[in-house]
Amino acid sequence: MRADELRESYIRFFVERFHIHRPSDSLVPTDDATLLFTGAGMNQFKEMLLGRGKLPFTRAVTSQKCLRTGDIPNVGRTAGHHTFFEMLGNFSFGDYFKKETITWAWEYLTKILKIDADRLRVSVYEDDQASYDIWKDEVGVPEARIHRFDAKENFWPADAPTKGPNGPCGPCSEIFYDQGPEYDCGKPDCGPDCDCDRYVELWNLVFTQFERAEGGKLTPLPSKNIDTGMGLERTLAVLNGKPNNFETELFWPIIQRIEAAARKEYERTTDVGRRMRRIADHVRAVTFCIADGVLPSNEGRGYVVRKLLRIATNDGLQLGIQHPFLHHVVDEVCKIMGSAYPEVKAREDYINKVVKKEEFKFRVTLKVGLRTLRENEATLKERGVEVLPGKILFWLHDTCGLPTEVTESSTELIVNE
């Protein structure tokens, strides 16, 4: 299945069930000043979920552009973490609740996408007996494949009752695809809550029924709502039998562009593959950010864009690419994503120029910064020091413009966060 077909089929499935198809919000949230970036489909509906907003409908479906900075350290290292990704979601504002959400999700995965039901596992919040019973009795999932987890895994936002943030939240139920024992990490307790690549989390069904306030107080919302999020890239990988999102049509042409620039073949398991995957992810994210008006700068959202470009520039340099090339990667991103998101196609030339200029400038900084790092490293090694002192890490970041991630991936010394 192609990415465009998956997006369309998801939206069609829920439109047929009387959902209104709403466009993706910008990566810069329209209505939520508390957020740096849109990180979930529900962001544009926050006021509705809290029972404060008014919309002329009670069911919605979206394909939402999302950006999460928390996963930056994982990108390229795992099969399925991204900064920018697309979240497919269906929403109910005081309309249907657990039963429809769970049974439709199962129907969509197993009947429409035809994913083998025996490969699916589900989880519920530890004391959510109602969801457990729907999975067991209405859907017929064997109990051995229904897991109960605590608030870290099965509350959304994760651990919201104890850690926040304030706002709409609730227990959730997740659906995982089992890639098979060959992907098992070998730990005795490896299961859907393990971080390894065996179980791919496809879909999170959130039963948004509380508002969390300072101190962890959960107040029931005026109505019970639904907020779901399915990872488009992960689902596409599963549907096409790819063990890694970067090997799907959403990324593969980008990787090929990087291979051509580096005159190196992609290697799934080495540093070469890790760097290529990271460049592909970060340039995709930057392309969408600039299309939504976020330019590289030294603070806030702009700093995230600058940081992603700097990491990608360093990866390019470490792959042996001697000249600015990320703007060519932008062209590939626009080609792949332009039909679903015309804004990136419309601003392609501009994005291209911004990225080229930023990479050019940073390459100069990077050469000086890395030379300074090498000199410091040599002195420290002579003295038998194994850990890079925090003040040098900070100085490299603050004075030489080397992001911590770049220092980390370029030094042989240990870097403590």
C-beta of 157 vs 324, nearer to ligand GLY: 157
CB of 368 to ligand GLY, least distance (A): 40
Question: Can you tell me the distance from the alpha carbon of 278 to that of 273, in angstroms, rounded to the nearest whole number?
Answer: 8
Nearer to ligand GLY, 193 or 408 (CB): 193
Among 167, 171, 192, 229, binds ligand GLY (CB under 6 A): 229
Q: Residues 197, 179: contact at Cβ < 8 Å? A: yes
Question: Residue 296 interacts with ligand GLY (CB under 6 A)?
Answer: no
C-alpha span between 374 and 173 (Å, rounded): 49
Residues 66 and 47: their CA atoms lie apart, in Å, by: 18
Please say which residue, 206 or 286, places its beta carbon nearer to ligand GLY: 206
Closest separation between CB of residue 390 and ligand GLY, Å? 33
Which CB, 40 or 72, lies closer to ligand GLY? 40
Q: How far is the CB of 300 from ligand GLY (least distance, A)?
A: 22
90 part of the interface to ligand GLY, by CB under 6 A: no
Q: How far is the CB of 417 from ligand GLY (least distance, A)?
A: 25
Q: Does 204 bind ligand GLY (CB under 6 A)?
A: yes
C-beta of 204 vs 209, nearer to ligand GLY: 204
Give the residue, chosen from 3, 6, 27, 42, that forms a contact with ligand GLY under the rule CB under 6 A: 42
Query: What are the tokens at 104?
Result: 């439709």
Number of residues binding to ligand GLY, judged by CB under 6 A: 7
What's the burial of 382, exposed, middle or buried (CB within 10 Å: 0-12/13-18/19+)?
A: exposed
Helix (H, G, I), strand (E, B) or coil at 70: coil
Query: Shortest Cβ distance from residue 122 to ligand GLY (Å)?
Result: 15
Structural contact between residues 148 and 125, judged by C-beta atoms closer than 8 angstroms? yes
What the block records as the tokens of 268 is 């799934």
Closest distance to ligand GLY from the beta carbon of 60 (Å): 13
Told to check if 206 binds ligand GLY by CB under 6 A, we report yes
236 near ligand GLY (CB under 6 A): no
Beta strands at 120-125 and 84-93: parallel, antiparallel or unpaired: unpaired
Comparing CB distances to ligand GLY, the nearer of 86 and 315 is 86
Q: Does residue 227 belong to the site contacting ligand GLY (CB under 6 A)?
A: yes
**Matching residue, tokens 């025996």:** 118
Nearer Cβ to ligand GLY, position 90 or 248? 90
Q: Does 171 bind ligand GLY (CB under 6 A)?
A: no
Q: Using CA atoms, how far apart are residues 313 and 97, in angstroms rounded to an integer? A: 46
Beta strands in 100-248 (DSSP E): 120-125, 146-149, 155-156, 167-178, 199-213, 217-231
261 is a site residue for ligand GLY (CB under 6 A)? no
Residue 265 CB, nearest approach to ligand GLY (Å): 35
Q: How far is the CB of 311 from ligand GLY (least distance, A)?
A: 24
Q: Which is nearer to ligand GLY, 227 or 348 (by Cβ)?
A: 227
**Helices and strands of the chain, counted as H and E runs:** 15, 9
Instruction: Using DSSP bridges, classify how beta strands 167-178 and 120-125 pair: parallel, antiparallel or unpaired.
Output: antiparallel
Residue 93 sits in the site that holds ligand GLY (CB under 6 A): no
* Identity of residue 384: G
192 is an interface residue for ligand GLY by CB under 6 A: no
Q: Which is nearer to ligand GLY, 49 or 312 (CB)?
A: 49
Q: Which is nearer to ligand GLY, 120 or 329 (CB)?
A: 120
Q: Say how far apart CA 25 and CA 62 lie, in whole Å.
A: 9
| Token digits of residue 75 | 């990108």
102 vs 133: CA distance, rounded Å: 11
Residue type, 140: G
Which value, to the nearest 10 degrees, does the dihedral of the CA atoms of residues 229, 99, 12, 53 take? Answer: -60
> Of 156, 210, 246, 341, which lies in the binding site for ligand GLY, with binding defined by CB under 6 A?
156
Do 177 and 197 contact (CB within 8 A), yes or no?
no
Residue 146 phi, psi (nearest 5): -110, 120
Q: Is 128 among the residues that bind ligand GLY (CB under 6 A)?
A: no
Residue 40 near ligand GLY by CB under 6 A:
yes
Q: Show the beta-strand stretches assigned E in 232-326.
A: none
Residue among 76 and 231 whose Cβ is closer to ligand GLY: 231
**Tokens at residue 334, please?**
């626009």
Specify the residue for token string 């590939």: 332
Say whether residue 151 binds ligand GLY (CB under 6 A).
no
Least CB distance from residue 42 to ligand GLY, whole Å? 5
Site residues, ligand GLY (CB under 6 A): 40, 42, 156, 204, 206, 227, 229
